[in-house]
Amino acid sequence: MYLEIKQLSKQFGGLHAVNNVDFSIEKGKINAIIGPNGAGKSTFFNLISGVHKPTSGKVIFKGKDISNLAANEIAELGVARTFQTTNLFERSTIFDNVVVGHRLRTRSNLFDAIFRTKRLKQEEEKSKEIALEVLDFVGLSNYADRLVANISQEEKKRVAFALALATDPEIVFLDEPTAGVNPDETEKLSYLIEKMTQGGITVCLIEHKMKMIMNLADKIMVLNYGEKIAEGIPEEINKNEQVIKAYLGGSASA
């Protein structure tokens, strides 16, 4: 299996934020994680991407145990993510946000930075090239010079995608990629997520928007109070009694 999660748990004091969760991700597919507020979805992402260390359990990526690697080491293996709240530099341009985001993840050391070595300059050029490339992919190349403070929520979401894509990932974890955008924009962002998979990237996303998830996902996992209560294709999840009771409040089409 491409990415395998085995009996993953995270406790914060007495709270079982993620409790003994097994999950597997197939290459090239769109996987979704749903569940009520506080169910442990973001924590699950934080465990995979190295923001938090698991209390127990394992994350195996392409046969390698990455459970205890640092976040930057995990990123270097091709695992990228976006955060639920996108922290962008509001007073910088879209382009500069992506360049800086990329620079923060690349190599130059203090020596390079002080003496502005040839390598540093080459890396800066490379970051600019990559920024143009990913902004083109997410449909923002014509807006590259706009200040982030002046763009829409949907465009900010696209910038967050661009930041994740700039690291040239194999798999991306998107934490509520369409939160706070209207239905039309949600559809456009869904299209962009599909375009990522067509480009060979595996996607795993957290979302509350059921209709979108039902249309987009190949596979869905449902978390409730840190535990996996269901897993399956959208049709299965849609008619799962436990899911309807726990999460959908009696209406699977909400």
Ligand X SMILES: Nc1ncnc2c1ncn2[C@@H]1O[C@H](COP(=O)(O)OP(=O)(O)OP(=O)(O)O)[C@@H](O)[C@H]1O
Residues within the interface to ligand X (CB under 6 A): 12, 15, 17, 35, 37-43, 84
Q: Which stretch binds Mg ion (CB under 5 A): 7-15, 21-29, 80-88, 97-105?
A: 80-88
Residue 44: strand, helix, or coil: helix
Q: State which residue, 31 or 43, has the beta carbon closest to ligand X.
A: 43
- DSSP H/E element including 3: strand 3-12
* Tokens linked to 250: 């009696």
- Selected from 19, 31, 42, 202, the binder of Mg ion by CB under 5 A is 42
Question: Which among Mg ion, ligand X, none contacts residue 101 (Cβ within 5 to 8 A by kind)?
Answer: none
Q: Determine the size of the site formed for Mg ion (CB under 5 A).
A: 3
Find the shortest distance in angstroms from Cβ 176 to ligand X.
7
Question: Which among ligand X, Mg ion, none contacts residue 177 (Cβ within 5 to 8 A by kind)?
Answer: none
Contact in structure between 61 and 156 (CB atoms under 8 Å) = no
Pairwise CA distance, residues 170 & 76, whole Å: 10
Contact in structure between 202 and 170 (CB atoms under 8 Å) = yes
Pairwise CA distance, residues 26 & 29, whole Å: 6
Find the shortest distance in angstroms from Cβ 166 to Mg ion.
23
Question: Which among ligand X, Mg ion, none contacts residue 82 (Cβ within 5 to 8 A by kind)?
Answer: none
Residue 162: strand, helix, or coil: helix
Contacting residues toward Mg ion, per CB under 5 A:
41-42, 84
